[in-house]
Chain A
Amino acid sequence: MALPPYASPVEKLWFWIFRGSCGLVLLFLIAPVFVIIPLSFSSGSFLTYPLPGFSLRWYEEIFSDGPWMESLKNSLIVAPLATLLAMTFGTLAAVGLNRADFPGKGLILALLISPMVVPLVIVAVGMYFFFAQVGLLNSYTGLVLAHTVLGVPFVVITVNATLQGFDFNQMRAGASLGASPVRVFFTVVLPQIVPGMVSGGLFAFATSFDEVVVALFIASPTERTLPIQMFSGIRENISPAIAAMATILILLSTLLLITMEFLRRRSERLKAAP
């Protein structure tokens, strides 16, 4: 959409106003992400510019034993487990949904997607009462189950999308060549749906790694996850330690973004190939 050489001055003006405003929106989107990074290297204890000096003291603080490491450890226990469960259950369900038509399929799909739609506070309060009754309140198990619920819709959606172009006759071909259904699944189906599983899993992981509301209700200080630690830090005493942890999280999200982009390009390449 370049400007044609014969554009009138008014058109030129509009063109640059349009580009300029788009630039401002992009700045609005990206500025907060970059503003916070330099502050993590501040030698002072306030989150203001100009920086009084360079130091790594805040990284020392978050990486020394204390609430930050404790909460990071908790998140690194909960998020991978929840992701694994969500990927397993979600993939099986998505394969089932695409395997055959059965009554109530639309309703079941709606059920599987619903954790994404229901406001988090309602999920949190509901699980709070339920876990209190069954003794899962303030436990890792409860937290993992809750985050599995929140992550499952992403896996179902992405694997479902990958399966749209999947030819189930391949399974028949495998069976006719003498492979057991399990072997067919692992050698024929799985390699083709892995990109969907991984991107759904990344979504589920990011969800668990960034989930505050439900965790606030159902976790005790022992299971305090990283987002809760961030939340109470922002609320009570916002220090450059938060900027340091934020910088690490931004690095992590960059990594996630690169992986997703890689997966997307790969699937596009595969689609383009005959």
Chain B
Amino acid sequence: MSTNAVAARPEAPPEANLKKQLKRADRLRKFKAIGLVAPLALFLIVVFVLPIGSMLWRSVDNTELESVMPRTVAGLQQWDGSDLPEEATLAAFAAELRDSRRGGGLGKVGRRLNYEDNQYRGLLMRTLRGLPASSENWTQTLIEIDPAWGETTTWREIQRASPPVTDRYVLASLDLERGADGEIQRIDAQNRIYQSVFKRTMVIAGGVTLICLALGFPLAYLLATLPPKTSNLLMILVLLPFWTSLLVRTAAWIILLQSNGLINQSLIATGIIDTPLQLVFNRIGVFFAMVHILLPFMILPLYSVMKGISPSYQRAAVSLGAHPFAAFWQVYAPQTISGVAAGTILVFIMALGYYITPALVGGPADQMVSYYVAYYTNTTNNWGMAAALGSILLALTLLLYLVYHRLVNRKQLIRS
């Protein structure tokens, strides 16, 4: 390649030629590098990023009515909401309702309108059954089938469900809604569930993180300060559970914590309690299992930071007259901050998205946000709600990850 470049321009001054060659070689290397990364990047964009993006889009997507009843929706757009909609709109509605029987359109519209008010699916079914083949006056006919069609509130609710984009799911996942006047307001107190779900998710994730820190910090300190031979041996006790299947460990905790499990048996044998304690399928079980699964993720970053801290600082402090505790808290502990931060955020991020463990060892009151995302996708097919809850969870996770990324990068900077 280089001989070609030289041969092509023998008249150019050698210095410029060299620069050009260097530039070209650099560019070629850049293209080669991009070419190596591109397959994976494209693969992830197609199989990972776009699917998640389009899933999240469902949290504002509201095209159910528009796709099944385009003419009704167009008619309602013109309507001012004071009197009943025009006869032409109602005629279009009757025709589109009849056509919706084919291809699952009726179910789609019924499900969507039921989010506004539970009566709609039934109303649509009733109306469809009584719908004549033709009518001179559809307004009259519809009202005869069901008087609800003669009320402006019915049509206003349908009008409200028509625009192609909505914020109702995102608002609903924060226990908010738009009132009749379009203002954002809190929903009735007895229907508020998601604020408590998010609060519960935070409480469980936060609690698990704090317990992990409390248990992990001393152990990491011990492992970092023991002679390598002993600490490598003890490290196996941390790494073996780390590599063991999550399901194996969850099953093990159910076995240990059940009412005739080893823990209850030994508590009864020692006379501490008389009747078995309920330790599993409630919050206690969730904490035990989640702390066990996430503890290595706290210990490992703490250990790697503590390993790099020289013990001589602490010794110097003691030799200068500091109490050993003071030496530990004022000299040693501050140096571990980056490890504490990394471990804490890592564990918290992982705990936020937990689904399997609470589903297996928790009760109904211990399910976290992930459970509701799965529930709305699989059980009720309310994809708008699944996507809205998922979006909030993802936003929270990515935000925390950004903080984590900053911290870990800074740590590496300090080290180098």
Quick check: A128 and B377 within 8 Å, CB to CB?
yes
Contacts of B75 in A (CB 8 A): none
Number of B residues, CB within 8 Å of A? 86
In the complex, chain A residues 13-37 whose Cβ is within 8 Å of any chain B Cβ: 18-19, 21-22, 25-26, 28-33, 35-36
Quick check: A89 and B43 within 8 Å, CB to CB?
yes
Whether a CB of chain B sits under 8 angstroms from the CB of A11 is yes
Which candidate, A53-61, A62-70, A190-198, A206-214, is the interface stretch facing chain B? Answer: A206-214
**A32-B241, A126-B52, A253-B243 given as contacts; is B40 within 8 A of A39 (CB)?**
no
Contacts of B216 in A (CB 8 A): 25
Quick check: B40 and A112 within 8 Å, CB to CB?
yes
Task: For B376, give the chain A residue with the smallest CB separation.
Answer: A125
Contacts of A31 in B (CB 8 A): 256
Quick check: A119 and B353 within 8 Å, CB to CB?
yes
Quick check: A93 and B244 within 8 Å, CB to CB?
no
Contacts of A11 in B (CB 8 A): 324
Task: For A202, give the chain B residue with the smallest CB separation.
Answer: B243
Whether a CB of chain B sits under 8 angstroms from the CB of A269 is no
Whether a CB of chain B sits under 8 angstroms from the CB of A188 is no
A209–B254 Cα gap in the complex (Å)? Answer: 21
Quick check: A235 and B41 within 8 Å, CB to CB?
no
- Interface residue from A26, A95, A152, A217 paired with B237 (Cβ < 8 Å): A26
Task: For A210, give the chain B residue with the smallest CB separation.
Answer: B245
- Interface residue from A18, A93, A127, A260 paired with B47 (Cβ < 8 Å): A127
- Interface residue from B34, B359, B393 paired with A102 (Cβ < 8 Å): B34
In the complex, chain B residues 14-43 whose Cβ is within 8 Å of any chain A Cβ: 26, 29-30, 32-41, 43
A193–B249 Cα gap in the complex (Å)? Answer: 33
A124–B387 Cα gap in the complex (Å)? Answer: 12
A128–B378 Cα gap in the complex (Å)? Answer: 10
A112–B37 Cα gap in the complex (Å)? Answer: 9
Quick check: B397 and A119 within 8 Å, CB to CB?
yes
Quick check: A246 and B397 within 8 Å, CB to CB?
no
Quick check: B244 and A249 within 8 Å, CB to CB?
yes
Quick check: A99 and B29 within 8 Å, CB to CB?
yes
B interface footprint on A250-268 (CB within 8 Å = 1, 0 otherwise): 1001101100110000000
Shortest distance from the beta carbon of B381 to any chain A beta carbon, whole Å: 12
Whether a CB of chain A sits under 8 angstroms from the CB of B336 is no
Quick check: A92 and B251 within 8 Å, CB to CB?
no
Which candidate, B62-70, B149-157, B183-191, B260-268, is the interface stretch facing chain A? Answer: B260-268
Shortest distance from the beta carbon of A188 to any chain B beta carbon, whole Å: 16
Quick check: B251 and A230 within 8 Å, CB to CB?
yes
Contacts of A156 in B (CB 8 A): 40
- Interface residue from B26, B240, B245 paired with A30 (Cβ < 8 Å): B240
A243–B265 Cα gap in the complex (Å)? Answer: 19
Shortest distance from the beta carbon of B272 to any chain A beta carbon, whole Å: 17
- Interface residue from A90, A93, A125, A230 paired with B390 (Cβ < 8 Å): A125
Quick check: B43 and A246 within 8 Å, CB to CB?
no
Whether a CB of chain B sits under 8 angstroms from the CB of A174 is no
In the complex, chain A residues 114-163 whose Cβ is within 8 Å of any chain B Cβ: 114-115, 117-130, 145-146, 148-149, 152, 156
Whether a CB of chain B sits under 8 angstroms from the CB of A186 is no
Quick check: B349 and A117 within 8 Å, CB to CB?
yes
Shortest distance from the beta carbon of A104 to any chain B beta carbon, whole Å: 9
A60–B32 Cα gap in the complex (Å)? Answer: 54
Contacts of A146 in B (CB 8 A): 47
Contacts of B247 in A (CB 8 A): 210, 212, 227, 230-231, 234, 246
Contacts of A93 in B (CB 8 A): 36-37, 39-41
Quick check: B256 and A35 within 8 Å, CB to CB?
yes
In the complex, chain B residues 46-87 whose Cβ is within 8 Å of any chain A Cβ: 47-56, 58
Whether a CB of chain A sits under 8 angstroms from the CB of B295 is yes
Task: For A18, give the chain B residue with the smallest CB separation.
Answer: B218
Contacts of A184 in B (CB 8 A): none
Quick check: B51 and A127 within 8 Å, CB to CB?
yes
Whether a CB of chain A sits under 8 angstroms from the CB of B252 is yes
Whether a CB of chain B sits under 8 angstroms from the CB of A177 is no
Whether a CB of chain B sits under 8 angstroms from the CB of A111 is yes
Quick check: A123 and B48 within 8 Å, CB to CB?
yes
Task: For A136, give the chain B residue with the smallest CB separation.
Answer: B47
Task: For B248, give the chain A residue with the smallest CB separation.
Answer: A246
Contacts of A128 in B (CB 8 A): 377
Quick check: B356 and A36 within 8 Å, CB to CB?
no
**A96-B34, A99-B29, A108-B41 given as contacts; is B256 within 8 A of A122 (CB)?**
no
Contacts of A231 in B (CB 8 A): 247, 356, 360
Contacts of A227 in B (CB 8 A): 245, 247
Contacts of B218 in A (CB 8 A): 18, 21-22, 25
Quick check: B44 and A152 within 8 Å, CB to CB?
yes
Quick check: A118 and B394 within 8 Å, CB to CB?
yes
Whether a CB of chain A sits under 8 angstroms from the CB of B352 is yes
A125–B248 Cα gap in the complex (Å)? Answer: 25
Whether a CB of chain B sits under 8 angstroms from the CB of A51 is no
Whether a CB of chain A sits under 8 angstroms from the CB of B283 is no
Shortest distance from the beta carbon of B210 to any chain A beta carbon, whole Å: 15
Quick check: B261 and A48 within 8 Å, CB to CB?
yes
- Interface residue from A32, A117, A149 paired with B397 (Cβ < 8 Å): A117
- Interface residue from A101, A213, A242 paired with B251 (Cβ < 8 Å): A242
Q: Which residues of B contact A (CB under 8 A)?
A: 26, 29-30, 32-41, 43-45, 47-56, 58, 215-216, 218-219, 222, 225-226, 234, 236-241, 243-256, 258, 260-262, 265, 292, 295-296, 311, 324, 349, 352-353, 355-356, 359-360, 370, 373-374, 377-378, 383, 386-387, 390, 393-394, 397-398, 401
The 5 closest A-B pairs by CB, nearest first: A119-B353, A96-B36, A130-B51, A32-B252, A1-B225
**13 A–B contact pairs at CB < 8 A?**
A28-B215, A29-B295, A33-B249, A97-B37, A99-B36, A111-B44, A112-B41, A121-B370, A126-B51, A126-B52, A152-B40, A156-B40, A253-B240
